[in-house]
Chain A
C-alpha cells in the first residue's frame, strides 16, 4: 500500500517528466525499428530472390542478435560516442534479424502456382513482387516488425547507461537510492505497458493485413 501511494505521488509530482521520457523511449524504439525495416525488408526480398546469398546474410544477422546488449552498446559507444544516436543504431541492429527473417520467410512461402500464374499472365518481375508477393507476405512481414518493436522497447531501457535517456533513466534513479522501489516501478510499469500495447496493436494490424481476412475488412 505504501509503495502504491509513493508511486502515485511520484507520478503526480513528475507527470510531465514521465510523459516526456515515455515519448522519448517510444521514439527511440520506433526509429530503430523503422530504419531496420527500411534496410531489412529489401534485404529479405533480395535473399529470397537470390537464395545463394541467404545463408550468409542470415548467419550475419544471427550473430548480431547473439551479442549481449550491454556489450553492443559499449562497443558502439567507443565508435559513436554517448547519446541517442548510438542507442538507435543498436536497436536498428537488433531489429534486423526478425525483420529480415520474416520478410525472407514471407516471400519464399508465397504459393509457387500463384507466381507461375502471375508470370504466365504477363507480369514483369517487379509487378509480381508488387502485386503478388508483397501483398501476400505482408502479414508475415508485419509479424517481424511486431517482434522487433517489442524487443526494441525492452532493450531501449539500458540506453540510459550511454546517456540516451528514456524510461531507463527513471529505473536507474530508483536503483541508486535506498528505498527506491516505487521509483523503479514508476519506470518499469510504463515500459512493460508500452511493450504489451505495441504487441497488441501490431498484432491487430497483422491480422487485418492477412489475405485470409480480407472479407472482414469490408
Chain B
C-alpha cells in the first residue's frame, strides 16, 4: 500500500539525509524503522505525510503519488503520533481526540460518539473526555495521542518514537496494548524507534537504516538469525543473537501438552490427591469442553478446606495466559518479569492446549547450549 521509489532527501547541496531508498510496505503491516541517530529514519517517515518533501523519487500510497495530492488532505488521511505527545493543552481530551474529524467537518454528534467509542479502546472511562491533558499521567496522555491518530480511521499511521519518553513499565504496557490494538484494527503502521527491543516486540518487519540507506529489511526473527552484516549484528547486540535457535520460535513448539488439570466440579480432596500424584503444587481448572477457568494451588486448598468442598468455589480466575503462536522470547521475558512459575497456553476459544513452566525453560536453555555445540560438531565433520 505504501511504496518508496528511489526516494532521496538532500539538504543544502551535498548532504544526503536519505539516499535513493526503495521500500514496499503491505497493507496491515507493522513496520519499524530503526537505526542510530542521524541515519535518516525520521526524515524517511516525515516524507510520507510531506512534513519533509522528498528531493527526488516518488512515494506512492495505494498507487497514488503523494506529491499529486494537496498536503492538507493527504495529512488528514494519515494518523500521526509523536514522542512529545503534542496534545493541545487548551482543548479537552474529547476535543483533542476528535480534532481531525472536526477538520473533516463531521457533525458534532458523530464526533462525540466517535470519542466515546475510542476512549473505550484504551480502557479509560468516559469522564476523561472532559478533562484537560495536564490532568493525565504521561502514559494516559500518550494513549490519547494514539487515539487522536486513530480518530478518523486512517488506514496508515506514522509514529515517531511514541513511547520513547515514558518510563519502562508504562512503555511495556503501552506497547502490548498498542500491538493488540493494531492487530484488531488492521492498520498499517510505520514506527520509528531506536530501541531494538521495542522493534523486535512490535514489528512484522524491521527496516534497519544507516547513513540514509537501508541495510536490511526483514522479519525480527530473520534479522536475529541472519543479520546482513557486522553493522546489523552489532546493532542488535550479541546477547539477543544467542537467544534464538533456528526453527523454534513459537510457544506451541515447546509447551508441555499434558498439563496437570482438574475439572471444576471435582472436590478439594480429589484435587489434593491429584497434586500428590503428579508432584505439583497447583492445578489448572477446566470445564467440560476443556476451557481454561483458572487455577488452584495448594495454599488455597489449605486455607479453604473447611469452608468449601468443590474446586469451582475457590478457583483463581486471574491468570496470565498465552496463545500457541506467541513468540517464545516474549513469553519468557514476561514470565521472568512477572515472577510466575508457569503460563498456560490456550487457543482462540480459551481451550487449554498446554503449559510452559520453568522446567520447559530449563530444557530450552539446555538445548540451546548443548544442542548448538552438537550441530557445530556435525558441521566440522561434514567439512
Residues of A near any B CB (own CB < 8 A): 111, 113-114, 116-124, 127, 131-132, 135-136, 211-212, 214-215
Contact of B88 among A116, A120, A132, A212 (CB under 8 A): A132
Given contacts A116-B51, A120-B80, contact A214 B90 (CB under 8 A): yes
Whether the pair A214, B84 counts as a contact (CB closer than 8 A) is: no
Q: How far is the CB of A107 from chain B (nearest CB, A)?
A: 14
B103 contacts A214, C-beta separation under 8 Å: no
CB atoms of B100 and A121 under 8 A apart: yes
B81, chain A: closest CB distance, angstroms: 9
Interface membership of B44, Cβ < 8 A: no
In the complex, whether B27 has a CB less than 8 A from a CB of chain A is no
Residue in contact with A121 in the complex, picked from B80, B90, B131, B135, CB distance below 8 Å: B80
The 3 closest A-B pairs by CB, nearest first: A122-B76, A117-B86, A122-B75
List residues of chain B with CB within 8 A of the CB of A123: 72, 103
In the assembly, what is the distance between CA of A29 and CA of B84, in Å?
A: 43
Q: How far is the CB of A215 from chain B (nearest CB, A)?
A: 5
Could you tell me the distance in whole angstroms from the C-beta of B171 to the nearest C-beta in chain A?
Answer: 19
Chain B interface residue count, Cβ-Cβ cutoff 8 angstroms: 26
A90 vs B90: C-alpha distance in the bound complex, in angstroms?
A: 36
B158 to chain A, nearest CB (A): 8
Q: Known: A135-B90, A215-B131. Contact between A120 and B84, CB under 8 A?
A: no
Whether B90 contacts A120 by the Cβ 8 Å rule is no
Q: With a CB–CB cut-off of 8 A, which chain A residues contact B87?
A: 117
Whether B82 lies near A121 (C-beta < 8 A) is no
Q: Please give the distance in Å from B160's CB to the nearest CB on chain A.
A: 9
The answer to whether A121 touches B75, judged by C-beta atoms less than 8 angstroms apart, is yes
Asked, given contacts A114-B88, A211-B89, whether A121 binds B103 with beta carbons under 8 Å apart, the answer is yes
Q: Is the Cβ of B73 less than 8 Å from the Cβ of A116?
A: no
Chain A residues positioned under 8 Å from B49 (CB to CB): 120
B99 at the interface (CB under 8 A from A): yes
CA A117 to CA B85, docked complex, whole Å: 9
Closest A-chain residue to B84, C-beta based? Answer: A113
* CB of A81, distance to nearest CB on chain B (Å): 46
B132 contacts A by Cβ under 8 Å: yes
Chain B residue, CB-CB nearest to A112:
B84
A136–B90 Cα distance when bound, in Å, is: 7
> Do B132 and A214 touch (CB < 8 A)?
yes
Cross-chain contact A215 with B132 (CB below 8 angstroms): yes
In the complex, 7 of the A-B residue pairs with CB atoms within 8 angstroms, ordered by the A residue number, are: A113-B84, A121-B100, A122-B73, A122-B76, A123-B103, A212-B89, A212-B134
Verify A121–B76 contact, CB threshold 8 A: yes
> Which chain A residues lie closer than 8 Å to B73 at the CB level?
122
Q: Which of B113-134 contact A (CB under 8 A)?
A: 131-132, 134
CB contacts (< 8 Å) of A215 on chain B: these are 131-132, 135
- A110 to B376: give the CA distance in the assembly, Å: 61
